[in-house]
Chains A and B, each alone.
Chain A
Amino acid sequence: MRQFLALASRFGWIVVPVAFVWVLASGDRYWQFVAGLVIIYALSALGLDWLMGRAGIVSLGNGALMAAGAFSAAYLSQFEWASFPVTLLLVTALGGVLGLLMSIPAARLRGIYFALVTLALHFIVVFVGHQYQQTSTAFLGGVPVADPVLFGYELELGVPWLLFLGVLLGVVWLLLHSMYAAHPGRMWLAIHENELAARTIGVVAPRWKLSAFVGSSALITLSGGLLGFYTGRVSADTFTLIFAIGFVVMVIVGGQRSVTGVLLGATAVTVAPLLFGQLTRDLSSGQAGFLGWLRDNVFVLNSGLFGVFVLVVLLYLPRGVVPSLAEWVRARVIHGAAPSATPAPLSAASTEAAEVESGEPPLLEIRDLRLTYRNGARALDGVDLGLRRGELLAVVGRNGAGKSSLMRAVTGFYRSEGVTLRGRVAVDGVDIAGRSPARSARLGITLVPERDKVFGGLTVGEQLRNVGDIDAAKDAMPNEWELLESRWNSPAGLLSGGERQILAMTMAASLRPRLLLVDEMSLGLSPIAIDRVTRALRDLHERTGVTILIVEQNVDVARGLADRVLLMEAGTLRPLGEPDGSPAGAAAAREGSIDASR
């Protein structure tokens, strides 16, 4: 089975030439014409994939470039000297020049803004096309394009045209494949993944973006020229916004960075409406009812078909059909053979330390918690922890020991964060591991995060009045209330670090939490500010009796506040001795959080 899948993923592309030969040999003029159209659109979509899938530049410019190609083909083909191949070469060269021009705004504008530039260009080019058509009454129904003659043979619709297009597609496919598999492909992928990072490791991004622009625009413009010759007439009405977006849809549906995927996308977007139309006609000749309604409205329905495609693909196969399939196969072929990636578990001795011995069930109970991030980083490696009601517990440890991950594991993660949690996290005996932050917030678990702990764009007053209960906030922080009131109307983004921390803790208290988590309370604060927020938190604890878990890098702060201090190292917890400073605790402190003193 695995071998079959491996073969399928290696040689799946063969479907394309087989389908081509089949249509070519079928003798069905209609489908031969459609196949030619599919190939022309596929060339354009391949150009877009070059730009978007490989080099990471999003563009809605296919309509504009194809219009430019089609109109210039029509214009050139009226001259005696401009034979079919010469015209196509000139059109392709024009595309390259247009690509060169497009790279100028692209150097200044990123992402969606550049896409909007191409959108604006689309309307401008189509407008120019309309104006050109109005120069002669003969052009009103479309500018005629001369019949294509290739080396003395007139290319007729049907087999000759289809053969020509098939060979062209094959050549383009080969050229693209060679590029993508070699140095240029690596450079574009690096830019696509992260342009700035790529530049710092030696990718000359402007140069490679330029070549992607020139090449892809030449290809797309060539496809426009071919469309002109193929249909015999060029009208600006062809190049609607929907037409331009259609190519983005082909690439997204079929799958970026996959030539086979793009071909599939081009086929699906072009053929599906035709098949649907034929189907409804065949099914419903002369019938009334639902099928009759379907037949009457098939034209309208078809125009919305690609909207359905896009929504379905984005919701269920966000990488596109072919890459999702390939991924599925790859997971079976490669991962089955992959070396074991799990490191040996750490010593079991470290897990038994943090037990609670009293009879009362703990408010927060964590058992053998393991946490792995999407990128494979292991942050927690078997954590055990019990937190009594009303206790104030501190976890210390250096940067990267897994402290913040422990906090987030209690509040839960969003599915999009791609975190794997194993083990038990229970509050009042209810297992909450794997719930979203919103759900655990409703259970009364409130986290003051390390960063973004206040709403920077809202004033102090706005967030205290509108987030929780203002009376609860006042009760919890009577000594700091004056400070907060003095800042009442200033945006929280303008507060100092200490003020921000006080505001964040007040806001958390205003929700009357059952369990309050504070992440790196003293980080980045001056000694005076540290004293102040420490006092505020101690006050809050004494007044409300809320159960509190803090994580700290600063051992002094943790000791000054907490009933109990635990040390976190490499994703596990162990005790750091009592705040009274037994020799064992001090030794652990030196050994653990301060590797330097060894």
Chain B
Amino acid sequence: MLHVDDVSLDFGGIKAIDSVSLEVQEGRCFGLIGPNGAGKTAMLNCVSGVYRPTSGAIRFRGESLLGLAPDQISARGVGRTFQSMEQFEDFLVLDYLLVSRSAQFSTSTLLAALRWPSLRRRERDERARAGETLEKLGIAQYARHRLSEVPYGTQKLIDIARVLCSAAPFVLLDEPTSGTTSGERPSISEALDLLLADGRTVVVVDHDVDFVTRHAERVAALDRGVLLATGTSREVLADPVVRRIYLGLVNDG
């Protein structure tokens, strides 16, 4: 579904990503692991159009994503979550869930101002749907709260609820467990399972290797922008280079 082909990304002479190629199969979960500064999030930002790779190609369902604006990429079915939700903290939870459903709403400001009946009906239906999604994840009590008033782990859950609400068949999850407590992780795991059960293709970037390998069939390990290994999670974790550089384990044999 997604082909990343020999992509490099330079930041003022520093190579954030160095000739990385990846392939994500439809309907599967793909994991990306690596230490801080390995280029995981940079890779994700290349796919969603925040950065433009210095060289290489990114194709989604056979179509090149290079040069497309982030909203155009999103319109083609690439959804994503964020590492931190601080940027949207003023949103009410229910409103936030509807942000990624632009395609379902009329774009006419004027009709909205005039309270056009069909628009109001649509608004009601969408709100009900979003409420159901929150219920499914067991966080319906937060619907009228502002995001900044919600516990951190729940914010992450709400972000996943937003992509679950959206129609995106392909979803990038950026560090869904970072900053959460061990008590909050199972529910994030469940939410990820819900996404997969819904038939979405998921790329999950995280530094919790346990979490990634529990869900992802295929995993890629990055370090300082270089692809160390890809394969099934077992293969990648057995790779001696991955063990040496990422896990710092080699002396323990």
Contacts and interface: CB of A to CB of B under 8 A. Distances in A.
Interface string A152-167: 0000000000000000
Interface in B183-235: 183-184, 207-210, 213, 224
Interface stretch (B3-11, B21-29, B55-63, B93-101): B93-101
B90 interface: yes
Interface in A301-355: 334-335, 338-339, 341, 343-344, 346
Contacts of B180: 377
B19 interface: no
B68 to A, nearest CB: 11
A524 B247 contact: no
A555 B247 CA distance: 9
A595 B210 contact: yes
B249 interface: yes
B165 to A, nearest CB: 11
Contacts of A334: 144-145, 149
A395 interface: no
Contacts of A595: 208-210
A200 B73 contact: yes
B85 interface: yes
A182 B112 contact: yes
A375 B152 contact: yes
Given A202-B71, A202-B75, A335-B149, A183 B105 contact: yes
Interface stretch (A78-86, A191-199, A264-272): A191-199
Contact of A379 (B86, B150, B179, B247): B179
Interface residues of B, number: 74
A481 to B, nearest CB: 27
Interface string A255-286: 00000000000000000000000000000000
A215 B109 contact: yes
Contact of B248 (A198, A211, A339, A556): A556
Interface in A548-598: 553-557, 570-571, 586, 589-590, 593-598
Contacts, number: 180
A200 B252 contact: no
Interface stretch (A110-118, A132-140, A172-180, A239-247): A172-180
A343 B115 contact: no
A49 to B, nearest CB: 15
A222 interface: no
Nearest to B90: A193
A179 B85 contact: no
Interface string A356-381: 00000000000000000111111101
Given A179-B109, A179-B112, A182-B119, A590 B152 contact: no
Nearest to A594: B247
Contacts of A198: 99
Given A189-B91, A377-B179, A400-B207, A201 B109 contact: no
A461 interface: no
Contacts of A211: 109
Nearest to A451: B37
B183 A207 contact: no
Given A178-B113, A186-B95, A343-B183, A201 B152 contact: no
A190 interface: yes
Given A196-B50, A201-B99, A375 B148 contact: yes
Nearest to A210: B109
A555 B246 CA distance: 11
Contacts of B210: 595-596, 598
A205 interface: yes
B74 A199 contact: yes
A597 B236 CA distance: 11
Nearest to B119: A182
A200 B35 CA distance: 24
B251 to A, nearest CB: 6
A523 interface: yes
B36 A375 contact: no
A523 B36 contact: yes
A184 interface: yes
Q: Which residue, of B73, B79, B85, B248, has the highest number of chain A Cβ atoms within 10 A?
A: B248
14 contacts: A183-B106, A187-B99, A189-B95, A198-B99, A200-B48, A200-B50, A201-B80, A202-B103, A343-B183, A346-B182, A399-B36, A523-B35, A553-B36, A597-B249
Given A343-B151, A524-B37, A596-B213, 13 more contacts: A178-B112, A182-B123, A186-B95, A189-B90, A193-B90, A193-B91, A200-B49, A201-B74, A204-B107, A343-B153, A343-B183, A520-B36, A556-B248
